[in-house]
């Protein structure tokens, strides 16, 4: 128990996402034999397409051949484990998918992905996590283990493993990773932050030294697409949730939830 408390404390106190992730991955490999760890968040879970297109993740431990195959064949669009964890709340054992595959209970496009991963992952579990309005998933995989033994071990230690996964998610800030993986530019972010302050288009153009009114919407369109937002209000709300608006000290009149007052209901 002391080792669990120690690693939880280290994960909480470590400010950098990369280091939190590495601490977690090293611990679950040493304690539970998970050589593959996939931790990601969903920026939009409304549709299968948005689940795929706005998924931001960190991965380690699985075969580079599998990762290349996964990307090359576009398996992300038909990854049933990812789909189920985006909207589910309970851990899903990898062996469950293999049983469904064996019983021919899966549509072809899902079956293809499960069949492919079976060559590289023998057992594991995907753990849905949620905090502060952000859904995520922690996938833990053993490329060579025995499925029955794994599932029995997970049943025994599931509370500990789930608590570690939830703590990792609760304490993680994904802002830098979102910017990097969605390729949002400095100007995209500057326009977004000015929009969050409630500035009008002309005021934003003045701030960024541009003349064409379409410039603002072009940048906001890029932000909306990256975050899976339907409009600018939703884009600002999501940006605040994911820590993309910078230091709160840069803005005036922020409410307790982290949103500018003009974007709150009733204003």
Q: Are residues 147 and 190 in the same domain?
A: no
CATH, residue 139: 3.30.450.80
Tell me, yes or no, whether 129 and 183 share the same domain.
no
Q: What is the pLDDT of residue 132?
A: 82
Q: Are residues 124 and 235 in the same domain?
A: no
**pLDDT score at 250:** 42
Structurally, the chain folds into a number of domains equal to 2
Residue 1 has a pLDDT of: 61
On whether both 139 and 8 belong to a single domain, the answer is yes
How far is CA 117 from each of CA 34, 137, 143, rounded to the nearest angstrom?
Answer: 15, 17, 10
**Alpha-carbon gap, residue 55 to 82, rounded angstroms:** 9
| Structural domain ending residue among the three candidates 149, 173, 197 | 173
- Which of these three, 158, 173, 188, is where a domain ends? 173
Structure tokens belonging to residue 77: 């669009």
**CA separation (Å) from 106 to 103, 111, 139, 229?**
8, 5, 20, 31
- Residue that terminates a domain, selected from 109, 144, 173: 173
Q: Is-contact 7 19, C-beta < 8 A?
A: no
Is residue 190 domain-shared with residue 137, that is, in the same domain?
no
Output the pLDDT for position 262: 39
Q: Specify the pairing of strand 55-60 against strand 36-42.
A: antiparallel
Q: Mean pLDDT of residues grouped by 10 in the chain (267 residues)?
A: 89 96 97 96 94 94 92 93 94 97 95 94 97 93 95 96 96 96 96 96 95 95 96 96 71 38 34
Distance CA 36, CA 29 (A): 8
Q: Are residues 45 and 142 in the same domain?
A: yes
pLDDT of residue 133: 86
Locate 252 and state its tokens.
Answer: 């005036």
Identify whether residues 148 and 20 lie together within a single domain. yes
Question: In 151-181, which positions are buried (b, 16+ CB within 10 angstroms) versus exposed (e)?
Answer: bebbeeeeeebbebbbbbbebbebbebbbeb
For residues 225 and 218, give the distance between their C-alpha atoms in angstroms, rounded to a whole number. Answer: 11
- pLDDT for the residue numbered 219: 98
Q: What kind and span of H or E run contains 162?
A: helix 147-170
Residue 98 Cα to chain centre, angstroms: 24
Query: Helix, strand, or coil here: 57?
Result: strand
Q: Are residue 164 and residue 216 in the same domain, yes or no?
A: no
Do both 124 and 213 map to the same domain? no
- 167 with 181, same domain: the answer is no
CATH of residue 195: 1.10.10.10
Q: Report the alpha-carbon distance of residue 77 to residue 27 in Å, rounded.
A: 30
pLDDT at res. 255: 36
Domain span including residue 148: 2-173
The answer on 188 and 151 residing in a single domain is no
């Amino acid at each position: 128990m002391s080792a669990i408390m120690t690693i939880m404390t280290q994960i909480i106190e470590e400010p950098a996402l990369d280091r939190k992730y590495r601490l977690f991955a090293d611990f679950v490999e040493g304690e539970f034999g998970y050589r593959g760890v996939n931790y990601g968040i969903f920026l939009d879970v409304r549709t299968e397409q948005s689940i795929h297109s706005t998924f931001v993740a960190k991965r380690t431990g699985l075969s580079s051949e599998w990762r290349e195959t996964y990307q090359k064949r576009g398996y992300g669009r038909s990854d049933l484990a990812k789909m189920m964890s985006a909207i589910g709340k309970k851990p899903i054992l990898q062996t469950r998918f293999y049983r469904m595959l064996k019983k021919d209970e899966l549509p072809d496009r899902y079956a293809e992905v499960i069949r492919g991963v079976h060559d590289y992952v023998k057992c594991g579990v995907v753990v849905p996590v949620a905090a502060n309005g952000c859904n995520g998933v922690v996938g833990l995989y053993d490329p060579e283990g025995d499925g029955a033994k794994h599932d029995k071990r997970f049943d025994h230690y599931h509370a500990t493993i789930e608590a570690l996964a939830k703590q990792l998610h609760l304490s993680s800030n994904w802002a830098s990773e979102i910017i990097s993986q969605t390729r949002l530019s400095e100007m995209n972010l500057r326009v977004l932050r000015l929009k969050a302050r409630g500035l009008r288009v002309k005021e934003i153009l003045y701030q960024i030294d541009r003349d064409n009114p379409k410039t603002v919407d072009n940048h906001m369109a890029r932000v909306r697409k990256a975050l899976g937002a339907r409009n600018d209000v939703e884009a600002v709300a999501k940006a605040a949730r994911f820590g993309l608006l910078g230091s709160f000290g840069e803005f005036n009149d922020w409410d307790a939830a982290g949103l500018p007052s003009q974007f709150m209901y009733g204003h």
